Amino acid sequence: MYPTKRQNEVAKRRKGRGKLIKDLLASIKAKHIPYRTCIICRSKKTKPELIRIFYGNSKGITLDNTNKFGGRGAYVCKRDECHTHNLNKSRIELSLREEFTKGNWDQLREEISGKVICN
């Protein structure tokens, strides 16, 4: 986005072109994109590419579809390899610092299987 003539004239009168260029560069800066690591394959990806599992005191260990729940979280790839072959109960328990119950583990596996993208 280039400045208009009026903006150029105002900038020249104030402190010269240096101020105008600094302002333009500050507004163009790229937004920070957070990366997270899959606990199974250890690859780094952006948040939308991963499934978040979290532990909250009131809800226990569940899937976080909105990425907005508070509590300790762990991320797993949406790829089929990470989910079917390598999804390890002990790795998730270690990351979340909480133990699963039998029913809770089966429920979590079913929820994750609905989110997986086969590659």
CATH code for the domain of 75 = 3.30.1230.10
Q: Is the pLDDT of residue 17 over 70?
A: no
119, part of any domain: no
Cβ proximity of 87 and 112 under 8 Å: yes
Q: Assess if residue 118 is contained within a domain.
A: no
Share of the chain above pLDDT 90, in %: 8
- Cβ pair 77, 84 in contact under 8 A: no
CB count within 10 Å of CB 108 equals 19
Show the domain range for 15.
Answer: 1-30
pLDDT at 58: 75
**Is pLDDT of 102 > 70?**
yes
Residue 35 is predicted with a pLDDT of 92
Q: Is 12 helix (H, G, I), strand (E, B) or coil?
A: helix
Q: In what order do the strands lie in the sheet with 72-77?
A: 60-64, 50-56, 72-77
Please tell me whether residues 58 and 2 are part of one structural domain.
no
Contact 108, 100 (CB under 8 A): yes
Residue 57 reports pLDDT greater than 80 = no
pLDDT at 37 over 90: yes
My answer on whether 65 and 13 are in the same domain is no
